[in-house]
Amino acid sequence: MKEIALEFIKIINDNGFKAYIVGGYVRDYLMNLESNDIDVTTSATPKEIKKIFKNAKITKDSYGSVQVIYKNLPFEVTTFREESSYFDNRHPSSIKYIDDLETDLKRRDFTINAICMDKEGNIIDPLNGGADIKNKIIRTINESNKSFQDDALRILRALRFSVTLNFKLAGDIVIAISKNKHLLKNISYERKKIELDKIFTSLNAKSGIELIKNLGLASALDLENLDRIKYYTDIVGIWSMINSKCYKFNKHEKELIKKVNIVYDLDNLNELVLYKYGLYVNILAGINKGLSKKEINEAYDKLPIKAKSDIQVTSLDICKLLNKNPDAFLNDIYNNLEIEILRGNLINKKEDILEYIKNNF
Ligand code: ATP
Ligand code: MG
């Protein structure tokens, strides 16, 4: 990854522009962590980048950043810029392209995110982010209060980096968060969810959720019911317990969240509940209620059938036995068989089932 990344900025350099790798990739590289994408900061404008990389895409919402796929790696290229005053606690009212790296670094959020790498792999770190990585601390580049007022999403980014990297928040950040947490209301739920998802999928999700509670952010983030969460290793389970109407989910996630909440009020060791809603949903609900994964798994394994198709008679067998053509009545019979087998009243064996049908239908 590093070689391709250096090659990429070299191409921009060879076209007469300054370019450095910055942000997450350099931070993660210094910590020996994997990165998914590579942020590049350059003196080239988006138009100039588009001339160099024909597949470059200028995205709508990105304030002039350009996405380039180079040798299968995703690059996010932004032009050196200075941001003037901010409106709506999120967006700068204007940006000015500049030719100076250090000024660009100063408009960024945290020192650990303002470390650069040049085309030779040299680290350029005028704001001493490297020292903060060593000391495992999240520090804003500018005065924290102002930084969060300019862009309140940084509050959540601070939390996210602290949780995922296991870093402390600088004392002034903690104070600035408590002063400015109400500004989180001005940030879109989409943006907030991106950060929250990273917190909830982190190995430290539990301490992340504790941190949200301790910093008093639950209400500012419309995260109700955080106390309901007892199972921290599944993001669907976490969102199910929160059960918020504010955040958006896809259809599949919505269905799961709804089911987990239905099953939360039922007995997750009951055969019919396990059968109808399946193992996964019952595990999410059950563990959050204090049941063990083991007991839910065992109860599920004991089910005599896991699906209708496990019932040991075919529609043909039933039609033959009753001397009828296939019709809606088959559904009624199968529904009844399911319940009787699950309740243990009927053995899932062809002879037993046919005998039962003969006597009851
Ligand atoms: P990740 O590992 O999630 O990609 P990242 O630090 O690279 O972390 P990005 O969202 O990719 O985060 O942003 C790239 C860089 O842009 C950041 O490292 C930071 O320097 C700057 N940046 C991003 N968001 C902000 C913000 N809200 N305010 C100031 N600077 C920001
Ligand atoms: Mg990044």
- Asked whether the predicted pLDDT for residue 62 surpasses 70, the reply is no
What is the reported pTM? 0.90
Rounded to whole angstroms, the Cα distance separating 13 from 8 reads 9
According to the model, what pLDDT value does residue 267 have?
A: 97
- The β-bridge partners of 110 are 140
**C-alpha 25 – ligand 1 centre gap (Å):** 10
Q: What is the pLDDT of residue 117?
A: 98
Residue nearest to atom 16 of ligand 1 (CA): 23
pLDDT value at 60 more than 80: no
Q: Three-class SS of residue 214?
A: helix
Region 331-346: mean pLDDT is 95
To the nearest 10 degrees (0 to 180), the angle between helices 235-242 and 189-200 is 130
Fold of 308-360: Serum Albumin; Chain A, Domain 1 (1.10.246)
- Could you tell me the residue ranges of all domains in the chain? 1-132, 308-360
Report how far apart, in Å, the C-alpha atoms of 170 and of each of 62, 89, 160, 163, 176 are: 29, 21, 14, 13, 10
Q: Is 129 close to ligand 1, i.e. is its CB under 6 Å away?
A: no
Residue 88 has a pLDDT of 83
pLDDT band (50, 70, 90) for residue 361: confident
Ligand closest in space to the Cα of 22: 1
Residue nearest to atom 4 of ligand 1 (CA): 24
- For 80-100, how does the pLDDT look when each residue is reduced to its tens digit (9 = 90+)? 998 877 788 888 887 888 889
**Which residues hold their Cβ within 5 A of ligand 2, which is an ion?**
23-24, 39
* Contact yes or no for 20/101 (Cβ under 8 A): yes
pLDDT at 357 (0 to 100) = 94
**Residue range 288-311: average pLDDT?**
96
Average pLDDT over residues 21-30: 97
pLDDT tens string 249-289: 999 999 999 999 999 999 999 999 999 999 999 999 999 99
CA of 22 to the centre of ligand 2 (A): 8
3-state secondary structure 87-110: ECCCEECCEEECCCHHHHHCCCCE
| Model confidence at 183: pLDDT above 90 | yes
1-132 and 308-360 share one CATH topology? Answer: no
Closest Cα partner for 132 from 111, 149, 148? 111
For residue 222, pLDDT over 80 is answered with yes
pLDDT of residue 96: 85
Q: Could you give the angle at which helices 271-289 and 235-242 cross, rounded to 10 degrees?
A: 80
Backbone phi, psi, residue 44, to 5°: -75, 140
Over the stretch 306-334, which tens digit does the pLDDT of each residue have? 999 999 999 999 999 999 888 889 999 99
- Residue 45 confidence (pLDDT): 92
**What local confidence, expressed as pLDDT, does residue 61 receive?**
60
Q: Reduced to 3 DSSP states, what percent helix, strand and coil does the chain have, rounded to the nearest 5?
A: 55, 10, 35
Of all ligands present, the nearest one to the C-alpha of 38 is 2
- The per-residue pLDDT for 143 is 97
Domain 1-132 is of which CATH architecture? Answer: 2-Layer Sandwich (3.30)
Q: Ligand 1 centroid vs 113 CA: distance in angstroms?
A: 7
Establish whether residue 286 lines the binding site of ligand 1, counting it when its CB lies within 6 angstroms of any ligand atom. no
Closest CA to 336 of 270, 288, 272, 286: 272
Whether 287 is in the pocket of ligand 1, judged by its Cβ within 6 Å, is no
Tell me: the pLDDT tens digits for 70-80? 999 999 999 99
